[in-house]
């Protein structure tokens, strides 16, 4: 479809880095086990550094569970960490350890980030985190996500090249300047 | 030009495994999604069929079935479906090559591959929605779901 738009727009249930009034909002739909998302991870970091306060970055879950057996568990762990205000620490930990996403490793990561393990267990046992992940996934499908990672810039699907940090940053700068 | 909404879908019979064929008539009575795509084995995470595999439960909520169609042969489809753990059939538009895609106006004869063309058919086999995406761009699943919703809405009246 040509008019792929982000549905719903960035809201209170999203995980956000950067100022709310930034001229550019970059939303990534990602899968923690996806190698291309792993490739995108340091590129997004570079782009965030380069645009500074001009960029707000949002991450939503899009686990391709059939292709990636550990993707859903990893996504749920990140959402559970979010309930202890450590979403981004867990997000970064997962992308920096994509070779260790099985359930034992996830528990290790949680320990490493000093999560409250009793609270974590209760959280993971409830349906809330699974529902958050599923709801992110469906919002991605409705928004026109066509693979991982999929990026949306100010609500519009970005079909350009994100694999080169210079090019990606330049495209976002252009949007910032046009706002 | 791909066949437009309102056109009865041309009948077809294609191999789905080395010893099994399916035809359009097999799917009468329920919505059917036809997803023509260029080739098996495109990069994994951006793959259109892998995406539909994940969204399959949502399609099924509408009682819909989905068929992937490309010019790849049955053995290629079998290996691809097994590797990607696909839970829906892939049809081989192999002989005559692209014959069915041509009937739907979804064949790129310059390159000898199916276009990325989507068709949503109602239970009577009439095309209710069609869309052709640029060959390099996976069209996603949002348009299909909207079309299925449209069909379900119509059925309720």
Whether residue B76 lies in the annotated active site:
no
Inform me whether the C-beta atom of residue A146 falls under 8 Å from chain B C-beta atoms: yes
Cβ pair A1:B54 closer than 8 A: no
Q: Does the residue B4 lie in any domain?
A: no
Q: Is residue A60 part of a domain?
A: yes
Report CA-CA distances (Å) from A169 to A108, B19, B30: 34, 52, 47
User: Which position among B6, B19, B20, B45 bears the catalytic label?
Assistant: B45
Which is it for the CA torsion B91, A72, A162, A3, positive or negative?
positive
Domain count, chain A: 1
User: What is the extent of the structural domain holding A150?
Assistant: 15-178
Contact: A65, B54; criterion CB under 8 Å: yes
Q: State the DSSP code for A62.
A: -
Cβ neighbours around B149 below 10 Å, total = 11
Cβ of residue A159 closer than 8 Å to a chain B Cβ? yes
pLDDT, one tens digit per residue, over B61-103 is: 999 999 999 999 999 999 999 999 999 999 999 999 999 999 9
Reported ipTM exceeds the 0.90 cut = no
Q: How is residue A130 written in tokens?
A: 């699974």
Q: Chain B residue closest to A138 (CA)? A: B55
A122, part of any domain: yes
d(CA A143, CA A153) in angstroms, rounded, equals: 12
Q: What confidence tens digit (pLDDT) does each residue in B122-135 have?
A: 999 999 999 999 98
In whole angstroms, give the CA distance from residue B65 to residue B1: 24
| Cis preceding-peptide flag for B53 (omega within 30 of 0) | no
pLDDT single digits (tens) B6-41 = 999 999 999 999 999 999 999 999 999 999 999 999
| Number of CB atoms found within 10 A of residue A123's CB | 20
Q: What is the CATH number of the domain that holds A26?
A: 3.40.30.10
Is residue B5, in this structure, part of any structural domain at all? no
User: A146 and B46: CB-CB below 8 Å?
Assistant: yes
Q: Tell me the Cα Rg of chain A.
A: 16
Q: Is some CB atom of chain A closer than 8 A to the CB atom of B85?
A: yes
Is any Cβ of chain B less than 8 angstroms from the Cβ of A67?
yes
Neighbours of A21 (CB within 10 A): 7
CATH of the domain at B98: 3.40.30.10
Question: Is position B2 within any domain?
Answer: no
Q: Is residue B62 part of a domain?
A: yes
Q: Structurally, how many domains does chain B consist of? A: 1
Pairwise CB contact (< 8 Å): B54 & A31: no
Residue count of chain B, please give it: 157
Note whether B139 contacts A: Cβ–Cβ < 8 A: yes
**B148/B127 Cα distance (integer angstroms):** 12
Q: Do B51 and A66 touch (CB under 8 A)?
A: no
User: A160 lies in a domain?
Assistant: yes
pTM: 0.90
Please state the φ and ψ torsions of residue B126, each to the nearest 5 degrees. Answer: -95, 135
**Structural domain range at position B124:** 13-156
B85 to chain A: nearest residue by CA? A66
Q: How far is CA B16 from CA A64, B86, B112, in A?
A: 25, 13, 20
User: Is residue A10 domain-resident?
Assistant: no
The answer, for B46 touching chain A at a CB cutoff of 8 Å, is: yes
How far apart CA B25 and CA B33 sit, in angstroms, is 14
User: CA–CA separation, A43 vs A161, rounded Å?
Assistant: 11
Q: Please give, rounded to a whole number of angstroms, the shortest distance from the CA of A72 to a CA of chain B.
A: 12
Q: What is the pLDDT of residue A2?
A: 44
């Amino acid at each position: 479809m040509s008019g792929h738009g982000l549905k719903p727009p960035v809201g209170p249930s999203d995980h956000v880095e950067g100022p709310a009034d930034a001229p550019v909002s970059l939303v990534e739909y990602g899968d923690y086990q996806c190698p291309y998302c792993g490739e995108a991870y340091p590129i997004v970091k570079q782009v965030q550094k380069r645009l500074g306060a001009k960029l707000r970055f949002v991450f939503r879950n899009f686990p391709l569970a059939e292709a990636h057996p550990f993707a859903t568990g990893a996504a749920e762990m990140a959402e559970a960490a979010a309930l202890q205000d450590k979403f981004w620490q867990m997000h970064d930990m997962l992308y920096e350890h994509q070779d260790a996403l099985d359930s034992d490793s996830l528990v290790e990561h949680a320990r490493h980030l000093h999560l409250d393990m009793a609270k974590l267990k209760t959280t993971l046992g409830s349906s809330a985190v699974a529902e958050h992940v599923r709801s992110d996934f469906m919002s991605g499908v409705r928004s026109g996500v066509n693979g991982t990672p999929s990026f949306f810039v100010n609500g519009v699907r970005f079909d350009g090249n994100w694999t080169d940090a210079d090019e990606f940053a330049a495209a976002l700068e252009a949007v910032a300047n046009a706002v | 030009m791909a066949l437009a909404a309102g056109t009865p879908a041309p009948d077809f019979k294609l191999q789905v495994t080395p010893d099994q064929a399916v035809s359009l008539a097999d799917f009468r009575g329920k919505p059917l999604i036809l997803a023509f795509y260029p080739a098996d084995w495109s990069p994994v995470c951006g793959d259109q069929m892998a995406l539909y595999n994940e969204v399959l439960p949502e399609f099924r909520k509408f009682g819909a079935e989905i068929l992937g169609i490309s010019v790849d042969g049955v053995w290629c489809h079998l290996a691809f479906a097994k590797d990607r753990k696909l839970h829906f059939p892939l049809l081989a538009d192999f002989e005559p090559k692209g014959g069915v895609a041509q009937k739907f106006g979804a064949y790129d004869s310059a390159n000898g591959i199916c276009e990325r063309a989507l068709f949503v058919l109602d239970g009577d086999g009439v095309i209710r929605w069609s869309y052709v995406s640029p060959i390099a761009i996976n069209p996603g699943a949002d348009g299909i779901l909207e079309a299925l919703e449209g069909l379900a809405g119509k059925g309720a009246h």
